Copies of this chain bind each other. A is one copy, B any other.
Amino acid sequence: MKSPAELTETFRANGLKVTPQRQLLFGLMHGNTVHPTAEALFAEASARMPGISLRTVYQTLTDLASMGELRLIDVGTGATRFDPNTDDHHHVVCSSCGEVRDVYVAGSDRLKVDGLDGFRIEEASILFSGTCVTCASDTVSRASARG
């Protein structure tokens, strides 16, 4: 995703207005690596700008996505997650706490796929699931507390 300053120009160049709500969200998403949900962003935004609406958060996020500045990620935990990282990358989700991290997979664009039968592939997304370090050590602590 571009920087807030660059987005300001891009928005105006496209006939879109740069409102305080949008500027706030530009800032909250820039460099954000946690893959937040709309609700999570709404909570952060509300702390800094009481009165901002969830509707506006959704609006701005989908605007950014349709401009290619944001990727929408579905890790199967219910709500869509928003990702300012537009590199070619994939994700791993902790099945215990839901944390999502970026991972880079070598050769993910030249996988050998069988059974296509004429289907033309345009994109591949890999979702790993497992256990994050925090949840792994929590499990260990609980086990030793028991035993």
Residues of B within 8 A of A123 (CB): 128-130
Q: Are A103 and B115 in contact (CB under 8 A)?
A: yes
Residues of B within 8 A of A7 (CB): none
Residue of B nearest to A126 (CB): B126
Q: Are A119 and B113 in contact (CB under 8 A)?
A: no
Total interface residues on A, CB under 8 Å, equals 38
Q: Are A122 and B130 in contact (CB under 8 A)?
A: yes
A45 CB to nearest chain B CB (Å): 25
Using known A-B contacts A74-B74, A92-B121, determine if residue A115 contacts B101 with beta carbons closer than 8 Å.
yes
Bound-state CA distance A92–B123 (Å) is 9
Interface hit among A8-16, A48-56, A57-65, A131-139: A131-139
**Interface residue ranges, A against B (CB under 8 Å):** 74, 76, 89, 92, 94-95, 101-108, 111-133, 136
